[in-house]
């Protein structure tokens, strides 16, 4: 029993492979087509990811509120549940029972679809995320490219939301957000490419294995910083939250969304926050690698550490103006990312 | 630091026969409506009264007049001058000074709607503070409105 | 007057104040943006209609009057003592400065001298009020810029000031503490120890806020060179206070129209160089430091005496007029009081700094980007009830 538990946590790839092989065997023995079993296994992964998404949202929102509060000399939610951990549940409940308002002049189909588009692109990123040894839904051999491609899909949802609201503020917010995300993709891609060069593979599982247990951060300090900043901008957070700035454009593309639709945008935003932290830790901090503790725990610790950094940045700095934002991306981050790539390529060849 | 006497003498030199009197440390000058602009330009350019502190009006129904009050301040000499213009209550009309002192634009709009004074040549003579549908000139002493309640006299 | 958000054809000039160009001339990129009267970033109930060409502001027309309460007419029907609480509420963030200006004016009309201790108390209260007002400005400005944390740091100190003023006067915001001839009550025993502790701690707090917001690179990038107004234009628009001093014009009522014990106190007047938004912010931070110095001096030199002098029970100044001005947190606050010898004033005109500061907004903002609207309006430190009265 103890051995089984140990294996479950520390050698999860062997355990899962064993279960998968056994399932395939008994399935084939009954003469059913294997493709259905594969489909069911993937469904199981999707359900697991959805459960994780929900639990993570509950945790991370509470985490942000507590951390932000402590930085602002106050306590944060502490009434609903011990240390306020049930606060998010209460807020979600409130959002669920609110009236769903769709503006009369809005494009109804697109209005309804927009939040789901954003959530879909977020959810799809869980496919390649290595939670632990072998704990990956599909370790694609182009996992890195998949990650970069899908993270750009959220732009469609945001533009859709801004357009469908039939509101000048929303439209401006949506367009700004799209411009921002697209601009910050470029340095992100280049930085990630440097990591791929170091690891010699685009498969996320290989990238994690190729790193020392503390990650590539010592080899790619500039890269880590660049990726952090670029991710921050991609998730519309922190100093880069102009599209949702309530003092400038009254929530930007989110203006007309209320109740559950707003909750879905909200959920997508916080899940994106976690994913930014997760991918940063996978690429730069060594993912699930680490001594003593089970891999899953290391993965979560490192991811939440990066999340903590992003929260810290958000609550310290004022907002960047839209032209400064663009300047930062194209005039500062891009040249640095190119230089980083060049130096990495040269060193990889030479050493 | 110019004293009120020096300012009075400078004004008398340029505009002989001008009416002045002391009003605590400042000097008060009364001018005719059509000479207002000339006097203000002189005060601003020659005597360095670059600051229009405020402009308002006093309703004097007993004299049948509305008196405009312009208070000027000189940052250089740290002195003040008050320029007064007496206008008839009916047909109170005076040229605008909003090109001499930019702050006068809003002060004149306010005085116009509250006292019923017309400022000829004002670039933007819209209402400033009052709602568009209010009739009458509220700060005149004879302003009547159903909402206006006279408080009982204090003893 | 029901105005909705719409294209320029729907909004007539009488409503927007903008004369539309003839159809042949208007470019298709221009559109009207209506900011307010309800908007998170306008500090109060005011409305600004912006004609934009893409992101650039081509023209801007402010609309005020939403909070016009007819105070000047009201004052003609109140006795001199009854007016004092109203002066609190014209600008609730500098209630004490308003009290000060009004009460000083009435005392001048009466020819009343107040004891030295009253002058020291007045200066203490006025400078505490100035610090509190600047702290709130900083908090709200940070919030506009997207920095939430300075808000809480600034309010921690503002709470302390509010508690001190409440112990002394009974009110945190609208204090109604001043009277003709002095004060309602004596300062409580705990006031000076508390003030001493506050002064000891506040110097560090100002530096903290400075580093957190005003010296922050993103803030500097957003405010340097933005919303510039030159000295001559600022003076012509009647701007006073930090907005004027940022434009390299050293005008401070405490220096140039001296009152109370300010001539005997040693403090500096911070003057900015470029007249941009950053300078206006810097001037306010420096003013907080200077106010701290004034507080220290006033506390050290605090004399013995009465907190109120004998003033007539029914205030009936002789016929005459007076203009009394103080340096409020936003600029020159002045009361022009005309007395006709009765117990109620003949006319009270309130000269308010935000009125003139706001009128300069079109000049400041023309040619800037719409994203700067929030930054510039925040830096003017407007309080709308003071504009409308």
Distance CA A312, CA B52 (A): 49
Q: Which residues of B touch C332 (CB under 8 A)?
A: 53
Half-sphere exposure for C274 (CA within 13 Å, toward CB): 12
CB atoms within 10 A of CB C183: 22
| Residue B10, pLDDT score | 80
Mean pLDDT within C3-32: 51
Residues 6+ apart with CB under 8 A from C326: C97, C100, C101, C104, C126, C253, C254, C259, C332, C333, C334
Q: Which residues of B touch C388 (CB under 8 A)?
A: 129
Chains that touch C (3 or more CB pairs under 8 A): A, B
Mean pLDDT within A173-187: 86
Q: Which of A192, A214, A212 is nearest to A202 (CA)?
A: A192
C2, part of any domain: no
Q: Which residues of A touch C218 (CB under 8 A)?
A: 239, 317-320, 324
Q: Which of A103-112, A170-179, C22-31 comes out lowest in average pLDDT?
A: C22-31
CB C251 within 8 A of CB C240: yes
CB C110 within 8 A of CB C311: yes
C4, part of any domain: no
* Residue C38 domain boundaries: 13-63
Closest CB to A73: pick one of C152, C218, C372: C152
C6, part of any domain: no
Q: Which residues of C touch A250 (CB under 8 A)?
A: 39-40
Instruction: Quote the percentage of chain C above a pLDDT of 90.
Output: 39
| C50 and C132 inside one domain | no
C3, part of any domain: no
Q: Residue B4 pLDDT more than 80?
A: no
Round the average pLDDT of chain A to a whole number and report it.
Answer: 85
Mean pLDDT within C361-389: 87
Q: Cβ separation of B130 and C336 shorter than 8 Å?
A: no
- More confident call, C142 vs B20: C142
Q: Residue C40 pLDDT more than 80?
A: no
Q: Which helix (H) or strand (E) holds C324?
A: strand C320-327
Mean pLDDT within A41-70: 90
C183 phi and psi angles, rounded to 5 deg: -125, 165
Q: Cβ separation of C251 and B75 shorter than 8 Å?
A: yes
Q: Which residues of C227-239 are buried (b: 16+ CB within 10 A; e: fewer)?
A: bbbebebbbbbbb
| C20 and C77 inside one domain | no
Peptide bond into C37 cis (omega under 30): yes
Mean pLDDT within A309-328: 88
pLDDT range class, residue B1, cuts 50, 70, 90: low
User: Is C222 at the interface with chain A, CB within 8 A?
Assistant: yes
Interface size B-C, in CB pairs within 8 Å, comes to 88
User: Is A316 at the interface with chain C, CB within 8 A?
Assistant: yes
Q: Residue B22 pLDDT more than 70?
A: no
Best of C341, C356, C382 to mutate (most B CBs within 10 Å, chain B): C356
Q: Chain C: give the shortest CA distance to residue A80, in Å.
A: 23
Q: Which residues of A touch C143 (CB under 8 A)?
A: 247
| Residue B24, pLDDT score | 63
| C26 and C141 inside one domain | no
pLDDT in tens, B107-128: 999 999 999 899 988 888 888 8
Mean pLDDT within B68-95: 89
Q: Chain C: give the shortest CA distance to residue B120, in Å.
A: 19
Q: Cβ separation of A168 and C156 shorter than 8 Å?
A: no
Q: Residue A250 pLDDT more than 60?
A: no
Mean pLDDT within C216-233: 89
Q: Cβ separation of C148 and A72 shorter than 8 Å?
A: yes
Q: How many domains does chain C have?
A: 2
CB atoms within 10 A of CB B37: 17
pLDDT in tens, B32-52: 888 889 889 988 888 889 899
| Residue C288, pLDDT score | 93
Mean pLDDT within B8-19: 78
| Residue C281, pLDDT score | 92
| C47 and C75 inside one domain | no
Best of C255, C323, C324, C325 to mutate (most B CBs within 10 Å, chain B): C323
Q: Cβ separation of A72 and C149 shorter than 8 Å?
A: yes
How many residues are there in chain C? Answer: 389
Q: Chain C: give the shortest CA distance to residue B9, in Å.
A: 22
B83 phi and psi angles, rounded to 5 deg: -105, 125
Best of C32, C40, C41, C149 to mutate (most A CBs within 10 Å, chain A): C149
Closest CB to B54: pick one of C17, C321, C336: C336
Distance CA A123, CA A49 (A): 8
Query: Which residues 76-95 of A have a C-beta within 8 angstroms of C?
Result: none
| Residue B2, pLDDT score | 65
Alpha helix segments (H runs only) across B15-135: 36-45, 104-115
The CA radius of gyration of chain A, in Å to the nearest whole number, is 21
Q: Residue A249 pLDDT more than 60?
A: no
Q: Chain C: give the shortest CA distance to residue A240, in Å.
A: 10
Q: Cβ separation of C237 and B80 shorter than 8 Å?
A: no
Question: What is the domain-level CATH number for residue C194?
Answer: 1.10.645.10
CB A303 within 8 A of CB A274: yes
| Residue B154, pLDDT score | 64
Alpha helix segments (H runs only) across A125-217: 143-151, 154-164, 168-199, 204-210
Mean pLDDT within C220-247: 90
Closest CB to C146: pick one of A74, A319, A322: A319
**Domain residue spans of chain A:** 100-350
Q: Residue C337 pLDDT more than 90?
A: yes
Closest CB to C148: pick one of A73, A315, A324: A315
- More confident call, C314 vs C154: C154
| C324 and C273 inside one domain | yes
| Residue A112, pLDDT score | 83
| Residue A40, pLDDT score | 86
C104, part of any domain: yes
What does the DSSP 8-state code read for residue C259?
-
C83, part of any domain: yes
Tokens of A159: 């533009």
Q: Which of A273, A282, A283 is nearest to A68 (CA)?
A: A273
Q: Which helix (H) or strand (E) holds B55?
A: strand B51-60
> For residue A310, what are the CA distances in angstroms to A187, A315, C214?
18, 9, 22
| Residue C125, pLDDT score | 92
The two beta strands, C178-179 and C30-35, are unpaired
Mean pLDDT within A53-62: 90
For residue A320, give the chain C residue with the closest CA.
C218
pLDDT in tens, C123-168: 999 999 999 999 999 999 988 888 888 999 999 999 999 999 999 8
For residue B44, give the chain C residue with the closest CA.
C236
The two beta strands, B65-74 and B79-88, are antiparallel
Q: Cβ separation of B53 and C334 shorter than 8 Å?
A: yes
C1, part of any domain: no
Q: Tokens 């000058």 appear where? A: B29
Q: Chain B: give the shortest CA distance to residue C18, in Å.
A: 10
Q: Residue A323 pLDDT more than 60?
A: yes
Instruction: Quote the percentage of chain A above a pLDDT of 90.
Output: 23
Q: Residue C27 pLDDT more than 80?
A: no
Q: Cβ separation of A318 and C142 shorter than 8 Å?
A: yes
| Residue C375, pLDDT score | 87
The β-bridge partners of C30 are C53
Distance CA A269, CA A275 (A): 10
| C48 and C81 inside one domain | no
ipTM value greater than 0.90: no
Distance CA C332, CA C94 (A): 11
Q: Cβ separation of B151 and C78 shorter than 8 Å?
A: yes
Distance CA A230, CA A186 (A): 9
Q: Chain C: give the shortest CA distance to residue B12, in Å.
A: 24
Residues 6+ apart with CB under 8 A from A47: none
The β-bridge partners of A87 are none
For residue C352, give the chain B residue with the closest CA.
B54
CB A189 within 8 A of CB A340: no
| C30 and C150 inside one domain | no
Q: Chain B: give the shortest CA distance to residue C4, in Å.
A: 17
| Residue A287, pLDDT score | 83
Does chain B touch chain A (at least 3 C-beta pairs within 8 Å)?
no
Could you tell me the domains of chain B? 4-120 (3.30.460.80)
Q: Cβ separation of B130 and C65 shorter than 8 Å?
A: yes
Q: Cβ separation of B106 and C336 shorter than 8 Å?
A: no
Distance CA A268, CA A273 (A): 9
Residues 6+ apart with CB under 8 A from B95: B33, B34, B36, B37, B119, B120, B121
Q: Which of C173, C180, C168, C132 is nearest to C284 (CA)?
A: C132
Mean pLDDT within C163-182: 88
Q: Chain C: give the shortest CA distance to residue A245, in Å.
A: 7
| C102 and C198 inside one domain | yes
Distance CA C56, CA A168 (A): 16
pLDDT in tens, A28-54: 888 888 888 888 888 888 898 889 888
| Residue A247, pLDDT score | 47
Q: Chain C: give the shortest CA distance to residue B78, in Å.
A: 6
| C89 and C130 inside one domain | yes
CB A233 within 8 A of CB A180: yes
CB C252 within 8 A of CB C260: no
Distance CA A300, CA A59 (A): 12
Q: Which residues of B touch C72 (CB under 8 A)?
A: 114, 139
| C157 and C248 inside one domain | yes
User: Is C321 at the interface with chain A, CB within 8 A?
Assistant: no
C167, part of any domain: yes
Q: Which of A14, A55, A5, A1 is nearest to A294 (CA)?
A: A5
| C212 and C331 inside one domain | yes
Mean pLDDT within C271-284: 91
- More confident call, A257 vs B81: B81
Mean pLDDT within C82-89: 90
Q: Cβ separation of C351 and B124 shorter than 8 Å?
A: no
User: Is A239 at the interface with chain C, CB within 8 A?
Assistant: yes
Chains that touch B (3 or more CB pairs under 8 A): C
Mean pLDDT within B86-111: 90
Q: Which of A109, A96, A238 is nearest to A163 (CA)?
A: A109
Instruction: Quote the percentage of chain C above a pLDDT of 70.
Output: 92
Tokens of C150: 């300075």
| Residue A248, pLDDT score | 55
Closest CB to B103: pick one of C79, C108, C238: C238
Tokens of C103: 């009460």
Q: Which of A97, A116, A209, A107 is nearest to A156 (CA)?
A: A116
Chains that touch A (3 or more CB pairs under 8 A): C
């Amino acid at each position: 029993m103890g051995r089984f538990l140990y294996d479950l946590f520390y050698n999860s790839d062997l355990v899962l492979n064993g279960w998968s092989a056994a399932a395939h065997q008994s399935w084939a023995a009954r003469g059913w087509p294997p493709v259905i079993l594969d489909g069911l296994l993937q469904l199981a992964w999707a359900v697991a990811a959805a459960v994780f998404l929900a639990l993570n949202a509950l945790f991370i929102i509470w985490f942000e509120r507590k951390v932000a509060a402590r930085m602002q000399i106050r306590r944060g939610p502490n009434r609903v549940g011990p240390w306020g951990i049930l606060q998010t549940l209460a807020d979600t409940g409130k959002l669920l029972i609110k009236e769903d308002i769709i503006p009369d002049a809005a494009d109804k189909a697109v209005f309804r679809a927009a939040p789901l588009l954003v959530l879909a692109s977020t959810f799809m990123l869980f496919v390649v995320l290595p939670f632990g040894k072998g704990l990956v839904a599909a370790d694609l051999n182009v996992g890195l490219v998949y990650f970069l491609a899908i993270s750009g899909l959220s732009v469609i949802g945001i533009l859709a939301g801004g357009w469908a609201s039939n509101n000048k503020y929303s439209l401006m917010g949506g367009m700004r957000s799209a411009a921002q995300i697209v601009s910050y993709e470029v340095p992100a891609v280049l930085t990630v490419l440097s990591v791929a060069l170091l690891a010699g593979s685009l498969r996320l599982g290989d990238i994690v294995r190729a790193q020392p247990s503390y990650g590539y951060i010592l080899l790619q300090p500039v890269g880590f910083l660049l990726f952090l900043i670029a991710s921050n901008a991609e998730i519309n957070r922190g100093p880069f939250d102009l599209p949702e700035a309530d003092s400038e454009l009254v929530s930007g593309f989110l203006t007309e969304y209320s109740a559950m639709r707003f909750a879905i945008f909200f959920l997508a935003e916080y899940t994106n926050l976690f994913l930014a932290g997760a991918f940063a830790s996978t690429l730069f901090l060594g993912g699930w690698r680490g001594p003593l503790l089970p891999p899953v725990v290391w993965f979560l610790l490192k991811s939440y550490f990066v999340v903590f950094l992003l929260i810290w940045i958000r609550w310290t700095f004022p907002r960047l103006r839209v032209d400064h934002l663009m300047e930062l991306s194209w005039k500062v981050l891009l040249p640095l990312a190119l230089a980083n790539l060049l130096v990495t390529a040269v060193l990889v060849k030479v050493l | 630091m110019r004293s009120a006497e020096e300012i009075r003498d400078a004004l008398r030199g340029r505009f002989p026969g001008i009416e002045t009197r002391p009003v605590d440390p400042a000097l008060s000058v009364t001018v005719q409506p059509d000479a207002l602009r000339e006097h203000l330009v002189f005060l601003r350019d020659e005597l360095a009264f670059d600051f229009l502190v405020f402009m308002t009006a006093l309703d004097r129904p007993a004299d049948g007049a509305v008196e405009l009050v312009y208070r000027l301040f000189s940052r250089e000499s740290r002195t003040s001058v008050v320029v007064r213009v007496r206008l008839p209550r009916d047909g109170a009309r005076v040229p605008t000074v909003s090109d001499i002192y930019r702050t006068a634009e809003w002060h004149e709009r306010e005085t116009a709607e509250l006292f019923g004074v017309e400022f000829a040549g004002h670039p933007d003579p819209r209402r400033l503070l009052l709602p568009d549908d209010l009739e009458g000139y509220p700060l005149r002493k004879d302003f009547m409105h159903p909402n206006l309640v006279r408080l009982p006299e204090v003893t | 007057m029901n105005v909705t958000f719409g294209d320029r054809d729907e909004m007539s000039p009488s409503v927007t104040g903008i004369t539309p160009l003839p159809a042949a001339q208007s470019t298709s990129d221009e559109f009207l943006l209506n900011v307010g009267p309800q908007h998170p970033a306008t500090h109060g109930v005011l409305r600004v209609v912006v004609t934009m060409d893409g992101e650039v502001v081509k023209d801007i027309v402010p609309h005020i009057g939403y909070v016009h309460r007819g105070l000047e007419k009201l004052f003609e029907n109140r006795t001199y003592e009854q007016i004092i609480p109203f002066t609190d509420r014209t600008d609730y963030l500098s209630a004490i400065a308003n009290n000060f200006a009004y009460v000083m004016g009435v005392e001048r009309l009466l020819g009343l001298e107040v004891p030295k201790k009253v002058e020291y108390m007045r200066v203490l209260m006025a400078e505490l009020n100035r610090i509190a007002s600047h702290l709130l400005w900083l908090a709200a400005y940070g919030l506009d810029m997207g920095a939430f944390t300075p808000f809480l740091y600034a309010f921690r100190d503002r709470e302390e000031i509010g508690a001190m003023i409440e112990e002394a006067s009974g009110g945190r915001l609208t204090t109604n503490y001043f009277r003709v001839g002095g004060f309602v009550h004596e300062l409580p025993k705990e006031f000076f120890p508390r003030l001493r502790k506050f002064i000891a701690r506040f110097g560090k707090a100002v530096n903290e806020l400075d580093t957190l917001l005003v010296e922050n690179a993103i803030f500097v990038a957003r405010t340097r060179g933005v919303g510039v107004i030159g000295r001559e234009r600022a003076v012509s628009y009647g701007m006073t206070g930090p907005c004027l001093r940022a434009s390299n014009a050293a005008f401070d009522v405490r220096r140039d129209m001296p009152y109370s014990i300010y001539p005997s106190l040693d403090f500096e007047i911070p003057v900015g160089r470029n007249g941009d938004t950053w300078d206006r912010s810097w001037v306010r931070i420096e003013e907080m430091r200077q106010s701290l110095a004034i507080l220290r001096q006033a506390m050290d030199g605090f004399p013995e005496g009465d907190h109120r002098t004998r003033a007539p029970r029914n205030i009936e100044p002789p016929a005459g007029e007076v203009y009394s001005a103080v340096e409020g947190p936003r600029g020159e606050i002045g009361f022009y009081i005309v007395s006709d010898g009765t117990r109620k004033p003949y006319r009270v005109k309130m000269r308010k700094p935000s009125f003139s500061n706001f009128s300069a907004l079109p000049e400041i903002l023309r040619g800037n980007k719409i994203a700067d609207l929030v930054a510039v309006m925040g830096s003017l430190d407007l309080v709308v009830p003071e504009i409308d009265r």
